[in-house]
Structure 1
Amino acid sequence: MTFRLKSVAFALALTSLLPLAAQAQQQLVPAQSEVLFVSRQMGVPVEGKFKTFSAQVAFDPAKLATSKIAFTVDTGSADISREANSELVKPLWFNVAAFPKATFQSSAIKRIDANKFEVAGKLSIKGVSSDVVVPVTLAQSGATTTATGAFPIKRLSFRIGEKEWADTSTVADEVQVKFKLALTGVGKL
């Protein structure tokens, strides 16, 4: 009797997971993807990139309510220049020893038009979380869907560049985050 109850419970648990399994996960194509950031240092734009990042995407254009996007960036992979890179890992900037990852977790996806979406979610950097809305444009070519977009963040809200680096006349508070993510397995828009 106990075995039979356990079998029924197991079957019910599997059945409840079927909707998740039916919504295929897309795969990130790292070689065709990039995450960039642009800040202004003494009024001059300075572009950098993150070399290491990952995404877990379960996106169905026909089922936005159940679609999910999770994104992780290794903060220690920030790359501007040799000199800047050695500073960015330190406690005043990304504090990589204590906060090795920055994350984004979607909470809602809204279609704006045929290939434009707004992805709302929680961005967490250096132990600070904030709600953000990320505009995303999708383009499909063969089996690859490319998601592109850009959004601003206020670095001081995330404690990036503390103490003497909090002076916004040296490094501006606003940082533009830009991305291009190539994905396989996305259904037709």
Structure 2
Amino acid sequence: MRRPRSTALRGGLIGLFWAACLLRARPAWAGVIDYPIGPDSADIRFHTLVAGTVPVDGAFTRFAGHILLDPAHPEAVRIAVTVMDDAMDVPFGGASMLRAPAYFDYRRTPEIRFTSDHAAIGADGQFTVAGQLTIRGVTRPEELAGTVTRSRRDGVDVLQVAAHGRLDRTEFGMVADRPLIADGVTLRITATLRLP
């Protein structure tokens, strides 16, 4: 289904805004590659527990961002992603609950943002990325860890990125339904980046 023109325009403007911020912030690299990311190339999922034992998984379905990477200096990677928190897929009608003021409060704060500060990348493909995560207008430092591997898909060289992190929802003002719904939330992000 084609997205409304205003939605597509908003997504494009978000991507351009973050790309401009990153380009201003990065060093003067010669070989920087700009990898745009969105639902067609990446997946952002979250996991928590209800009643201490029942797993609940969800996914954000509308987001845009950029990864700026110089292969000669991977530790200087810059990442910026904006997630629209009104667009999510959660079972049992959970999306409506999460849009409400007690949770993401999407009418007041429709965006989740992550911007990287620094990264550490090992020769074995293991990495950590530290940055600032903003939810409900509250910004806190968060860290992601994961792996990056090179492979070939459909005749094209790609980088497969898999990352995960864990946050405490109460630190962003989400205190409803405790202790029925766990405070801890696990994020899992995967992305496929086509190499030039």
Q: TM-score, normalised by structure 2?
A: 0.77
Matches within 5 A, 1:28-177: 28=37, 30-43=39-52, 44-64=54-74, 66-81=76-91, 83-142=93-152, 143-162=157-176, 165=177, 167-168=178-179, 170-177=180-187
How many Å apart are 1:32 and its aligned residue? 4.3
How many Å apart are 1:155 and its aligned residue? 0.7
Q: Matched residue of 1:151: which SS? A: strand
Instruction: Tell me, in whole angstroms, the C-alpha distance in 2 between the residues paired with 1:161 and 1:52.
Output: 25
Conserved? CA contact 2:166–2:184, under 8 Å:
yes
Aligned residues: CA RMSD: 2.1
Choose between structure 1 and 2 for higher RCO, CA contacts under 8 A separated by at least 6 residues. 1
Conserved? CA contact 2:48–2:186, under 8 Å:
yes
Instruction: Tell me, in whole angstroms, the C-alpha distance in 1 between the residues paired with 2:126 and 2:65.
Output: 19
Q: Matched residue of 1:137: which SS? A: strand
Runs of at least 5 residues in structure 1 that lack an aligned partner in the other structure: 1-16
Conserved? CA contact 1:117–1:137, under 8 Å:
yes
Determine which structure has the larger helix proportion and give its number: 1
* Bigger mean CA offset, 20-29 vs 138-147: 20-29
Q: Matched residue of 2:81: which SS? A: strand
CA deviation map 1:80-121 (0-9, x unaligned): 136211111111010001111111101101113331111111
CA deviation map 1:6-35 (0-9, x unaligned): xxxxxxxxxxx9935741201336334211
Of structures 1 and 2, the larger Rg is shown by: 1
| Partner amino acid, structure 2, of 1:184 | R
Q: How many residues align?
A: 166
Q: TM-score, normalised by structure 1?
A: 0.79
